[in-house]
Amino acid sequence: MFWRLVLHRIILTLIGKVILIPVTAYCAYYRKPKLPNWCNLFDCEEDGWDGTGRHPNHPRALWLVNGVRQGWWWHYKELVWEDTGFLGRWYYGYWWCAWRNTVWNLRLAPWFAESIHFNDIRIHRFDTRPAADVRWYTNKGRERYFKRVKLFKDTYLEYGFEFKTELFDVHDPNYARVRKQGYLGIWKYRATSIPSIRLRTIKEVTP
């Protein structure tokens, strides 16, 4: 099941890298806040297709650059989107959409994503920080897992189904917050999971 879903995601990823070239160029030129509806799977509702945080379903321009509030990606690049020319808007938007967050909206597709709402799963293994081995059963009785293994220094390989461990760690403040307030704001995107394989940099904190 996992590898079949991974294969589907890889195929969509490869398709996206091609079709997003003209689509993102069009959206960058006309400063569109979201991709066309037919291309919705390749959009990124959480942060916007171009990382500007302008998506109408979830405005998230929280970071300041030269006094201008915008999305995390442009803050990370230390650029002001509004002052950037077409080629720059297209290049950084395409990179965010086609390479860094390809087919991000698969998390919102009920035919692909699975619920990991705390009411819908039963965890039977929970080892974390910073390496991780988490295993759970879905509400349909299927076993799923999330693993994070150290490769070297601060670089880790994460694979399995995406899983935010802090939402299930009783010592983390987000554990109680989500159970009291529900999956509000950005956390609503953490209630579903899709297969993923990725490298992640994690700085270990020395007590």
Model confidence pLDDT, tens digit, residues 115-131: 999 999 999 999 987 88
Banded model confidence at residue 207, pLDDT cuts 50, 70, 90: very low
pLDDT in tens, 70-114: 999 999 999 999 999 999 999 999 999 999 998 999 999 999 999
Tell me the C-alpha distance between 56 and 38, whole Å: 16
3 state DSSP class of 87: helix
Torsion angles phi and psi, residue 156, rounded to 5: -125, 155
pTM summary value:
0.87
The answer to whether 194 and 163 have CB atoms below 8 angstroms apart is no
What is the distance between the alpha carbons of residues 158 and 170, in angstroms, rounded to a whole number?
Answer: 22
User: Where are the chain's structural domains?
Assistant: 2-107, 114-201
Tokens 């490298």 found at:
199
% of the chain at pLDDT higher than 70: 98
Q: Is the pLDDT of residue 1 over 70?
A: no
* For residues 56-73, average pLDDT: 94
- Sign of the dihedral defined by the CA atoms of residues 171, 177, 179, 180, in that order: positive
Rounded distance between C-alpha atoms, residue 195 and residue 183, angstroms = 21
